[in-house]
Amino acid sequence: MTSVAAPDRTGKTEAATPAKPVKQGMSRKHREWLAAALFILPDGLGLLLFVGIPMVLSVVLSLFQVSGFGTYEWVGLANYERMFQDPMFWESMRLTGIYVVVLVPVLFCVSLGLGLLMKQKLPGTSFYRTALFLPYMISLAVVGLLWKFMLDEQLGVVNKSLRGLGMEGEPWLGKPELALFTLIAIMVWVMMGYYMIIFLAGLQDIPKEYYDAARIDGAGPWAQFRSITWPLLRPTSFFVLIMSTVAALTGGLDLIFTMTKGGPANGTSLIIYYIYTQAFGFGEYGYASAMGTFLVLIMVLLAGVIFKVTKSGRFDDGQ
């Protein structure tokens, strides 16, 4: 670091006084690195404390038979062996697969559609934007109770409306083949507002000039979407895809707990609920940890596949 005498009002620099000895400190690069580290530190500590360490402990726990009353017995990989032979585990994984494969694309399309709609300067847009975001702010337990009443077989507003239209009502949560899709529809209702806002932010980042130029070239709405919106929205789409996949794999517990308890006939017993019941219902903490670890591995693999396929949302890099 060097010291320079300040110029006087005439612009002349005063005769340089002997410069003070300069401390030999960190380089600019190191100082920036330190600042960045300090900024990350609180969040990093939180992640380490509440995510990292529990994850490691969970992996360790999966190697033990845990009584639920403070006793641990080393069983090695026995919990994983049990997991691979447990038909209910595979059934829960199958249901979770259906849940993710249906929920994520539907949520993606609905949120994107709403984002595009909200970008238009239509009357009442602010109101609708807020209204659509509201379900996301309600606790899932409350959402579950609300929908439970609305889907009531006899007097629920959904079946009453259907009957009003001359159609038969359905036991939406009483048939295994319906209950899972009912939950998916409710999850879309809950989460679409959040992802709509993310898409909207992405859409607003796209320079307006691109659309102006396209219009001058005679491009219609579909051509504009295909050639401008979709490619430039890819980083946002990638983020939504990753986040909604993780949310689908790990979320929904509160909703299942309040609405179906995993029923009917295990029809909504997603893996996250199965893990919960094994741990807190049956006291099988070791086994539940093994399934939790396996689920994390699946998520890491899925995220890896999405990263690979979408090139982290940057398809056009280098083209």
Partner 1 sequence: MLQHGKDAGTAPPPTRRRFIGGAAGVAAAAAATPLISGCGGSAKADGKRLTFWNFYAPQQTQDPAIKAQAKWLTDLVKQWNDSHDVKIDLVFIPGADYNGGYKLPSAFAADDGPDIWLLSPGDFLRYQNGGVLQDLTPHLDKGVVEDYGDSLNSRTVDGKVYALPMEVEPLAMYFDVATWEKRGLSEGDIPTTWDQMLDVGDKLRSKTTAGLVFETNPGYYQNFTWYPWLWQGGGNVIDGDGNAAFDSKAARQALGLWQDAVAHGIAPRTMPAAGDFLSAFKTGLVGMWMNGIWNVSNFKAYAPKHKYGFFKLPIPPGGKYSTALGGWAFAANAKGNNPEQAAEFCAWALGKNDEECIDRMVEWCTVAKSDVAPRKSVLDRATEKGGYDFWALKKFKDDIAPGGRAEPRYPPVVYKAVSDAIQGTMLAGKGVNSEVERAAQSIEAFMKSYKGASLI
**Residue whose CB is less far from partner 1, 229 or 258:** 258
How far apart are the C-alpha atoms of 79 and 81, rounded to whole Å? 5
Options 11-19, 169-177, 232-240, 295-303: segment touching partner 1 (CB under 8 A): 169-177
Among candidate residues 83, 85, 99, the one with its CA nearest the CA of residue 269:
99
3-state secondary structure the chain: CCCCCCECCCCCECCCCCCCCCCCCCCHHHHHHHHHHHHHHHHHHHHHHHHHHHHHHHHHHCCEEECCCCCEEECCCHHHHHHHHCHHHHHHHHHHHHHHHHHHHHHHHHHHHHHHHHHCCCCCHHHHHHHHHHHHHCCHHHHHHHHHHHCCCCCCHHHHHHHHCCCCCCCCCCCHHHHHHHHHHHHHHHHHHHHHHHHHHHHHCCCHHHHHHHHHCCCCHHHHHHHHHHHHCHHHHHHHHHHHHHHHHHCCHHHHHHHCCCCCCCCCCCHHHHHHHHHHHCCCHHHHHHHHHHHHHHHHHHHHHHHHHHHHHCCCCCC
- 260 near partner 1 (CB under 8 A): yes
User: Which of 102, 110, 119, 176 forms a contact with partner 1 (CB under 8 A)?
Assistant: 176
Nearer to partner 1, 94 or 163 (CB): 163
**Which position among 285, 290, 292, 294 is part of the footprint of partner 1 (CB under 8 A)?**
285
Is 314 one of the binding residues for partner 1 (CB under 8 A)? no
Within residues 118-147, the interface with partner 1 by CB under 8 A covers 145
Of the two residues 182 and 293, which places its CB atom closer to partner 1 in the complex? 182
Binding to partner 1 by residue 311, rule CB under 8 A?
no
Question: Which stretch, 128-136, 152-160, 289-297, 308-316, contacts partner 1 (CB under 8 A)?
Answer: 152-160
Determine which residue in the list 39, 149, 230, 307 makes contact with partner 1, applying CB under 8 A: 149
- Least separation in angstroms between residue 23's CB and partner 1 is 17
Please tell me whether residue 86 binds partner 1 under the rule CB under 8 A. Answer: no
C-alpha–C-alpha distance, residues 74 and 286, integer Å: 10
Task: Report the site for partner 1 in 263-282 (rule: CB under 8 A).
Answer: 263-267, 276, 279-282
CB of 173 to partner 1, least distance (A): 5
Q: Of residues 32, 73, 81, 153, which one binds partner 1 by CB under 8 A?
A: 153
Question: Which span sits near partner 1 by CB under 8 A: 18-26, 117-125, 167-175, 230-238?
Answer: 167-175
Q: Site residues for partner 1, window 8-67 (CB under 8 A)?
A: 66-67
Among residues 101, 268, 100, 130, which one has the least CA distance to residue 194? 130
Binding of partner 1 at residue 174 (CB under 8 A)? yes
Check binding of 81 to partner 1 (CB under 8 A).
Answer: no
Q: What is the DSSP string of 55-66?
A: HHHHHHHTTEEE
Number of residues lying near partner 1 (CB under 8 A): 37
Tokens of 57: 């402990």
Closer residue to partner 1, CB minimum distance, 43 or 316? 43
Binds partner 1 by CB under 8 A, chosen from 173, 188, 271, 272: 173
Binding test (CB under 8 A) with partner 1, winner from 21, 69, 85, 319:
69
Q: List residues binding partner 1 (CB under 8 A).
A: 66-70, 145, 148-149, 151-155, 163, 169, 171, 173-176, 257, 260-267, 276, 279-285
